[in-house]
Amino acid sequence: MVFCGRVNPITGSLDWIEEDEDYDYHQEIARSSYADMLHDKDRNEKYYQGILAAVKRVKGRGEEAIVLDIGTGTGLLSMMAITAGADYCYAIEVFKPMADAAVQIVKANGFGDKIKVINKHSTEVTVGSDGDMVQRANILITELFDTELIGEGALPSYEHAQHNLMQERWEAVPHRATIYAQVVESQKLRSWNHLLPMQLECGTIQPPPEMQNCPGAPSVCDVQLSQLDPGDFRPLSDILVVFRVDFSKQVSSSSVSHIVHFKSLASGEAQVVLSWWDIDMDPEATISCSMKPGWLYPPLHPVPWRDHWMQCVYFLPEARKVTQGEETCLIANQDDYCVWYNLTEPSAANTSSTESPACRCGAHITWNRARFGELNDQSRMDKYKEALKKILTPSSVCLCVSDGSLLPILAHSIGAAQVFTLESSSMAHQLMDKLLQTNNLKEIIHVLQKSPDKVTATDLGERKVTALIGEPFFTTSLLPWHNLCFWYSRTALSDRLAKDCTVLPMSASLYVLAVEFKDLWRIRSPCGNCEGFDVSIMDEMIKKSLDFRESQEAEPHPLWEYPCRALSDPTKLITFDFQENVPTEDMKTEGSLNLVRSGACHGVVLWMTYQLTEEISISTGLLDVSDETGNCQWYPHRKQGVYFFSSLWNLGPAPTDSLSSVTYELTFKPQLGDVRMSFFPKS
């Protein structure tokens, strides 16, 4: 056992927790995409067809088929290669627990004498009589790809392997990859990367210039584009082929720019680039695996579901006006690990900057994309505005406790006498200072970079707080109840609050809903037999990892990307009263959810609803349920908590008609800042 220091997201304290020495290993297994990949039947079938064709081409030349499988994981592709007729396979896996599992899986399937698992990074593998490989390979199989294709270092790995581990002539599976892009106008997507002006009765609140002109975060935004309504964006270009990588030829990891000329389909403001890729498993491109979003498939055509490979949203560093029919240049800059885009006139294409985008304003370092979307959600802000109007007066002394919140500006615009706001970090403090300075509010709204327990009467001008407000939102929060940090802050500030202080929100309630997922269940479903191979050892590893404290509870997922059906009515589990201090005794609740629809009950979803005033509430989870189908609509700017049923682990997606209810026990432990829960399907 070892002691690990972790910041408690609810209490804000540093807790020392005793963990198993293999804790990090178990967490990596539990949060991996191995189950998702093994359940990707389309991917598996295409890989097998491509491997079979490559072995035939090599054998057709009268050569032995020697395979190099980089990033073998479970060893599935290596076993496919031997089944397809390969003579020998070197399977490389750098992650030791997975390499050990691959050894067991290969032996369990009877391939121990034809597959050698090498626990090294491919760049460390040697060839020779005393090396890891006795001879060079002539078939290169890899699955080193991520949503961006090259983000896991595929290009350097290919480059090294082709130079050092392959024969002069080799076959590659996949044979080539093609990157596609489409330039679009989308205020919705742009709102994930830029703070937009906010309309108030007193005028418009403008973001600081450095924030408006900032190119944003350098990391790609990966998302299930299939769940994005096509009405949320307007195409300004056709779907463009940006570049191709031929894996059967020598690959280079050097930086390069790809210039694509196109004529604008419509007039508008080019703001965003949508991108995805496909891979051809054979030279003739008869075996292809595509990552294109669902709305590009014909009606009623089955859409493969993948969480390990999604689609990309890139935010152009500068929005650009385009005119219908006008020729424009899209420039894709690529280094060994990532891609980024610029848009320019054809005459400036060769002189366009190739510098990778990086945040200069601090906002993209402090806020994630969901937080940008939330701050730009005008309907949500209108609810807060309406609620604040009910509680604030011209004599109100208002204190806001939330990270990077616009509520202090709303409070001032409504007419509060004094407004203070707490920021937890120096970066957040600087951001708020810039925003207030831009709008001539720096001398009016006072920013305090202090923890709640350190706020003094002097900080508040020797006055008591008559209105304590919050969204609540804290950057350290992962699960919905982590924002109970607001309650602990309220308790720490008790001596600074007036006796008749109004607290907004006045309370929070934790809700639960039993659901059937369309696809998300796959990430926690057993793989026992995959494409005819026994990989049940993976199930044991994942289940063991899920038995650990953090992973056996709820995990955060943005459910707007993952369709599901409600099988029960939404049920309130417990209410936290923010008008009172955090209690000292545990808060417990138990009961059952009656299933009102048939279906496979994969687990439950949990979320918080905040009661701002008696009449106004805001949900961070369920927004609507279709009476006819049970399809759920989820709040898009927060992640919801998902508790997968371990008791249904062996049932997978099979219907569970005998299931009648789900019983639950839930305990909030104030001293630990912890919510403990158990859910049990019941016949």
Q: Which residues are catalytic?
A: 143, 152
Place of tokens 């890891």: 132
Cβ atoms within 10 Å of 355's Cβ, excluding its own = 11
Token code pair at residue 496: 């600074």
> Cis peptide leading into 304, omega within 30 of 0?
no
Shortest CA distance to 560 belongs to which of 630, 471, 623, 475? 623
Asked if residues 595 and 602 have their Cβ atoms less than 8 Å apart, the reply is no
Residue 463, CB-side half-sphere exposure with 13 Å CA sphere: 15
What is the rounded CA–CA span in Å between residue 337 and residue 150?
5
Ranges of H-type helices in 527-611: 536-546
Q: Is the C-alpha dihedral spanning 142, 145, 150, 151 positive or negative?
A: negative
3-state secondary structure at position 171? strand
- Cα separation, 344 vs 322, in Å, equals 10
Where on the phi/psi map is residue 203: left (φ > 0), alpha (ψ -120 to 50), or beta?
left
Q: CB of 385 within 8 A of CB of 469?
A: no
Distance CA 15, CA 186 (A): 43
Contact 60, 139 (CB under 8 A): no
Check if the beta carbon of residue 363 is closer than 8 Å to that of residue 431.
yes
CA separation, residue 651 to residues 145, 516, 551, 563, 648 (Å):
30, 13, 20, 20, 5
In angstroms, the CA 612 to CA 386 distance is 10
Alpha-carbon gap, residue 220 to 314, rounded angstroms: 6
**Strand bridging mode 465-469 / 497-504:** parallel
How is 178-228 classified by DSSP, letter by letter? EEEEEEEE-HHHHTTTSPPPEEETTEEEPPPHHHHT----SS-EEE-GGGS
Q: Which of helix, strand or coil describes residue 572?
A: strand
Q: Give the burial class of 254: count Cβ atoms within 10 A of its Cβ; 0-12 exposed, 13-18 middle, 19 or more buried.
A: exposed
**Separation CA 421–CA 445 (nearest Å):** 8
Which residues contact residue 468 at a Cβ distance below 8 angstroms, ignoring those fewer than 6 apart? 398, 399, 401, 490, 493, 497, 501, 502, 503, 504
Helix (H) or strand (E) run with residue 384 in it: helix 378-391
Distance CA 580, CA 490 (A): 9
